[in-house]
Every structure is written in structure tokens, then in C-alpha cells.
Chain A
């Protein structure tokens, strides 16, 4: 194989940075260009809805890279707008064209928005450090907060707002917060967690309008309820940043399609992180994961694959993992939330338990709330697809 001389990484967040670092660690000495849409050097996103919102940390603490720390050409504040694979060229919004031997697509995902209301002042999403700092500044005026969406971002924002003593209402279309991601059985536990911490929960309801003159003052629900609101945080998921690849020939229905090696099938082009929809060998189907540790794992695999012949490529087949911090509780999950939830230890009503998801008689996922010590065992059960029995 021709050793690559010029590797371009589009996306300068966790996945892109870790891939670049992995390349250098592996001895790659050629050109390395990182393109980042945000003006900032790579930073860590999990604290954006946690310690940065509460003010426990400031923005310096979430930096992932120091200026000049990696021998790479950072093109920050610059967006890729097109890919011409036949010419091996990425086109930037400045009009510049970057040629590459190998290309890594790590453009991540963007906060999904409501189809209305985002033009009003006081309506926020939390995806970037600027978003988070804006919400933190708004929280300092002690507003009435309405959080739309009870997924991880919404739940963590509600938790941070309650930490600051603010009045918080949370609207979630499912019967309970996190029910969509962790299932209804687990959701009931999280509903209790929010209520115990003083959040006004509106589950099974959706938002039909945001009202206000220039500035939001009300969130209207489908049952006619009107919630007073001075700050609204919308946490309704994320959409992969793949539209810049339209017309490139890459398959981008829900993220960039790639195989188990994170290879897109287009010569020299790989995809990692939130934007990658890859074939997971263990599950036998395509997955787009979007979790922190999976971005790290994929970055390491692709750093290897970029420098090796296809016969030596590694697959990415780790078990998905994520964690969340809410109201001082640590929630950890691995695998898939399919099937029924079986409690192994503790009591969801007490806010501390470990449990497995059993689908077709086998353990396919696991959840630990304030039971971190159980995680290695839980991951083993998930990895082995352990048949369910009472005394696991």
C-alpha cells in the first residue's frame, strides 16, 4: 500500500481529535489537517449539560487539546461543504479545496430543533460550548425553566437547573423520562428521580407552540396546558451532520453508512463518531451510536485502519456504553435497551439498582444506577449474550 502522505479529518471534536492523536502515536509523520466548524480547539461535550451548566467548571477545564499540542494543521471556524471523491478533494466554505490521500469524516451531530419557536429569545439547545455558556448565563437571572425532552440532555439540564435552585418543568412525550432510550420499566424510576428533586413533570404530552413577543414566555402543550417559561431548553435529540455529503456518492440516510471497519466503501474514506452509521458485527445490523466512549473506540480503530492494508483492518464491535449524571445519581448503560428489564440487585424505588435487558431469553443490555461496581459483570453478561435465569 502507498503510505498516506496527507490525511484530512473533517470534524475537530472528540472523535476527530482522538483519531489524529492515534495517527501520530502510531508514527504517522505525514500531513494532518483537522477541519472544525466551531472556532474552538477540540473540547469535551459531556460537561456541557453537567458541570459547565451548574458553574462548577469553567470552559478551560473541558479543553481536550492545547494549542500546538498536536502536530496538525487545524482549520477552525471552517465548514466542509462538499466532497468530490473522484478528485479526492474536500471543499470548504471558504472556497478552499483540500486534497487528501485518506479522509476521516467525523462531523458529529447537531441538536434537533422544534419546527417552531427557535426565533424567540430565551429558547436554547445545548450542543456546543457556546450553547452551554448561553444557558448558564440565562440561568443566572433565576428564570422559570421549561425543558422540552426528557432524554439525557433534557434530564441533565433539568438536574443542573434544580441544582441551582431554579423552578423547572420538563415535558416529555413518552410516559416517562428516558423511556425512549432505556425503556418504560426504567423510565418509571427516572420519573421518580425528577419528581423527588422538585421537577414538575409533564409526561405523555407534546409541545404544540412556544409563545411570546420576541422573547419566549409560555410553552403550550397538546392538552391545553400553558407553562410559564422564561428560559426554554430543547433537548429532543441530534441529527447527524451529513448533508454536506449530498451528491458525493456516499450513502447518508441517517449518518454516513460504513462497514464494520468504519470504511465507507469510497476509496480512502472512513467515518467515525456520531455521524457514522456502521455495521456492528455483534448485533448483525447497522448502528449509529453517538456515545462518548464509542467515538473514542472508533477513532482508535480508524487510526489503525488508515495506516494498514484492508487485510489488516480492525472492526469496531465494542458494546455501546454511556453514562449520565442526574441529581447526584450516576446512571450507566451498556448494550441495547430491548426486551424486558430484570432487576439483578437493589431497588429502582430506592434509586440504586442494577438490571439487565432480556430479549429472546438473552441478556442484550444492562443498566446500573448508583451501582458502578457492577458494570464489569454487567458488560460480561451483555457480551456473552448470557441466557437469562433468576440467579445471574
Chain B
């Protein structure tokens, strides 16, 4: 879902995403009242957290979402909304990390959660290549020191 990374530092990453005007998701969620599903907002925070961790480890390990705590969906998100997604490192453990995710729109807090991600060596070279390419596409071109 992330369109572009706008800033990255050793412990924070900020990204943006514009919700499309049209999407099959809105056909069911909900007819005549399109809203971005909350699980996709959580996924967006997980993606930002994952890119932060991969930037820290120079794309040597793949983060996998393992737990979501205290997820709060505070406001509806409608088609065309520009979202700002922030991931902040809370703790860098051995084989896992904890991040704080936050999504806002026009300065208003939309949702937040604490995320746990396991980090493992990439299980497949094509996955590593795909993620490196995707990171470059969204503007995450270099590693940041952990």
C-alpha cells in the first residue's frame, strides 16, 4: 500500500500512501459507503515497520508480522485520502523487533498500534530481490545504520 518513503532514519521511517478512488475492496467494504478496512491500515503500519527494519539490517533479513497490540482505529478512511505512515523502533531484540506504528491524514491521527515482527534470513532469493526492487520503487534506496 505504501507509495513512497519520505524520510528514514536509524529508528524512524515516514511514508505516504494515497488511497485509490476505485478499488474492488470498496465493493464490499461497504456498498455505497466506501471505507478502507482497518486490517489494511494495520498492514500499512506493518509494511512501514518492515521497511524500517530492512533499512536497518541492509536487506539481509526479512521481517514477518507476529503480533499487533493495542490497535486503535480512530477514524474512517475514505477513497482519495493521503495517508502519512510512521514507524518508530521501540526495541531491537534478538531475532525480533517491536515498533510503534501510526497512520495520520492531514495531521489527524487515524490509527496506531504496537507491532512485533520476527526477523529471519530471507527464505528465498526471489523474495529478497522482489523486496529490494519494491523498496527502490518507493524511494528506499539505501541502508541506515542500526
A and B pair up: no
> Which B residues have a C-beta under 8 Å from some C-beta of A?
none
